[in-house]
Structure 1
Amino acid sequence: MTRDEILTAFDRIRVWQQGDRRAVHKPLLVLLALGRLLRGESPLVEFAGIEDKLGKLLEEFGPSGSERTRHNPFWHLRTDGVWRLEGPPEITSRPAGATPTITELRRGRVEGGFAEPVRLALAHDPALVAEIARRILNAHFPESIRQDVAAAVGLSPDADNPAAPEQEQRRRDPAFREKVLLAYEYRCCVCGHDLRMGGHAIGLEAAHIKWFQARGPDVVQNGLALCSLHHKIFDLGAFTVLPENHQIVFSRHLMGGDDTKAKLLAHHGAGLIQPQGKECLPHPEFLAWHRAEVFREPARE
């Protein structure tokens, strides 16, 4: 396979899709396998040897409960032409739709890894590995957490490189940030952070409620003005905003010492600092998407 053919194959990996629900199982498995390849680990790995790590990645960066289907990408990725499986024929010869259970993959000691032409090309071209990783990160995760995902799988791609082709087809609105910050009067709508240097807002960002990677629009009703800390933990699912009353709710998974709780969890149950006009309020549809696809359930009482 040529370099372009391999890039195209990874760009076209099919992810499970049902409406607006997120599915990052295959992307996380590919990133995990790329990290293993760069570290010189065995080209094939038993499902049992990778399932805990993949489950933790899904638990941290996927929708709530996605770790329960951690075996699906291990089985289904081979239909995209970049992955192969080895193991008992009574398992590996099944049609794609006959997904083995987690127990069957463990007991059958089924192994998975990149298809041989792909593995050889990646082994001889570390820059290709980095390019694939960048494309996957840009296509499936917001910028605020890309480096966290990369670090978790043992990669360190440059997040500033161009996005994958399908992302390039849909351009971001350069005015989105300014419109959102203006709506919230240049302050974090959670904590009120409004530090400035002259006319420049410092550490203040426009966050998408429904991620751009999930086809969230660049409109004020899909944005929140957040300080860099609250932006990051919002994208990690540490808190969400209730559609019915714009109340801030934190996840039970967010923990820390007394000082951390005093600074962060003090906002639990508080109302969002309102934008200047009702037409700028977060749309319930986008808030519901964040609660379902990003927020780490359960919520604190």
Structure 2
Amino acid sequence: MTNLTDQEVVDRLTSFRQYIHDGQRVPHKPLLVLLALGHLEREGTSAISWSLAEQQLADLISEFGPPSRTGRPQSAAYPFTRLRRDGIWTLDRDVPDDNLGPLRDSDVTGRLGSELEAALRERPSLISAAARRLVEAQFPMTVAPDVLSAVGLDPEYTLGLTSDVTDQALRRRRSSAWRQAVLDAWDRQCAFCGYDGQLGGAIVGIEAAHVRWFNLGGPDVPDNGLALCALHHKLLDRGALGLDVGYRIQVSNAFSARTDTGKVVYELHGRELRARPGTALPKPEYVHWHTTQVFKGLALTA
């Protein structure tokens, strides 16, 4: 038995320090915690050897983290060594921060703190509670299920979970009027492809998308929103689509498709947003945030 309450367990797993530089989002530590939670749920232990974590964590950072400013893969050693400073992660050997050599030479193993792991074993629902809070704080809901699947957690169960422990984390509430205002401003059709499907007079598959993610400081204002079909909303939030300073749609060179249907996305590249009179285009600072924090790789060449 542990003396930690449910709230204390979830708070400790989700309240660690995150590196911030020039507004750059750094979800590296949250991704490591999520990886450990998924491992604990599947294997009964959160222990992860560096030989396993190096590639798995690097892949998660590459797929769900911000684009690399150097063009080189971002090292998994940063979260693997530095998370121990937050009191929730331990290594079985004392190695320097960020140093790959000692991690590889000794195949160091990391794991959640013993008290935390014991509490999670006693109360397995806290694994999902902590995972839900982490993904809701770090990613939009278009991306959260993909993150959870990638770390081996069930998105449907985790995101469907409701409890006082998780709900207390949702301090910022979305504007109930913002979604409809954005859809109306863009004539209830996708700003990228023009799709405007309806069923019995109700729109189907058109969503209000934040350019700067809501959970990372993006406000519910008209010039931070676009009406997009569900596919293009997802591709925007995953960094496959973006905008340039001239409000032309950009397709990432990291995106690929094999079929004619998939290749239709390529045809969006260079297309200019055409808003109706009076509709606010996304504010340049929000477009810049998306370009530097979300958009993957370089844009396709014309």
TM-score for both structures, normalised by structure 1: 0.91
SS at match of 2:143: helix
Q: How does 1:124-273 map to 2 (within 5 A)?
A: 124-156=122-154, 157-161=157-161, 164=166, 167-243=169-245, 245-273=246-274
Cα offset, 1:20, TM superposition:
2.5
- Asked if the contact 2:37/2:46 (under 8 Å) is kept, the reply is no
When structure 1 is superposed on structure 2, of 159-168 and 232-241 the one drifting more is: 159-168
- Asked if the contact 1:242/1:287 (under 8 Å) is kept, the reply is yes
Cα offset, 1:2, TM superposition:
2.8
1:100–1:32 CA distance, 2 compared to 1 (3 A): same
SS at match of 1:84: strand
Residue 298 (structure 1) aligned with residue 301 (structure 2): no
- Asked if the contact 1:185/1:276 (under 8 Å) is kept, the reply is no
- Asked if the contact 1:44/1:112 (under 8 Å) is kept, the reply is yes
Q: Which residue of 1 aligns with 2:80?
A: 74
1:31–1:256 CA distance, 2 compared to 1 (3 A): same
In structure 2, C-alpha distance between the alignment counterparts of 1:84 and 1:26, rounded to whole Å: 13
TM-score for both structures, normalised by structure 2: 0.91
Cα offset, 1:101, TM superposition:
1.5
Give aligned pairs, total: 291
Q: How does 1:17-166 map to 2 (within 5 A)?
A: 17-40=20-43, 42-65=45-68, 67-87=73-93, 89=94, 91=95, 99-156=97-154, 157-161=157-161, 164=166
When structure 1 is superposed on structure 2, of 38-47 and 202-211 the one drifting more is: 38-47
Q: Which residue of 2 aligns with 1:283?
A: 283
SS at match of 2:227: strand
1:188–1:289 CA distance, 2 compared to 1 (3 A): same
- Asked if the contact 1:145/1:232 (under 8 Å) is kept, the reply is yes
In structure 1, C-alpha distance between the alignment counterparts of 2:166 and 2:173, rounded to whole Å: 12
SS at match of 1:144: coil
In structure 2, C-alpha distance between the alignment counterparts of 1:198 and 1:139, rounded to whole Å: 35
In structure 1, C-alpha distance between the alignment counterparts of 2:57 and 2:240, rounded to whole Å: 20
Equivalent position amino acid for 1:231 in 2: H
SS at match of 2:295: coil
1:121–1:275 CA distance, 2 compared to 1 (3 A): farther
In structure 2, C-alpha distance between the alignment counterparts of 1:159 and 1:5, rounded to whole Å: 20
- Asked if the contact 1:138/1:164 (under 8 Å) is kept, the reply is no
Cα offset, 1:168, TM superposition:
2.2
Equivalent position amino acid for 1:65 in 2: S
In structure 2, C-alpha distance between the alignment counterparts of 1:216 and 1:166, rounded to whole Å: 20
- Asked if the contact 1:81/1:115 (under 8 Å) is kept, the reply is yes
- Asked if the contact 1:122/1:129 (under 8 Å) is kept, the reply is yes
Cα offset, 1:248, TM superposition:
0.6
- Asked if the contact 1:192/1:273 (under 8 Å) is kept, the reply is no
When structure 1 is superposed on structure 2, of 256-265 and 114-123 the one drifting more is: 256-265
Q: CA RMSD in A?
A: 1.8
Unaligned runs of 5+ in 2: none
1:273–1:102 CA distance, 2 compared to 1 (3 A): farther
- Asked if the contact 1:184/1:276 (under 8 Å) is kept, the reply is no
SS at match of 1:49: helix
SS at match of 1:159: helix
Q: Which residue of 1 aligns with 2:7?
A: 4
Cα offset, 1:240, TM superposition:
0.4
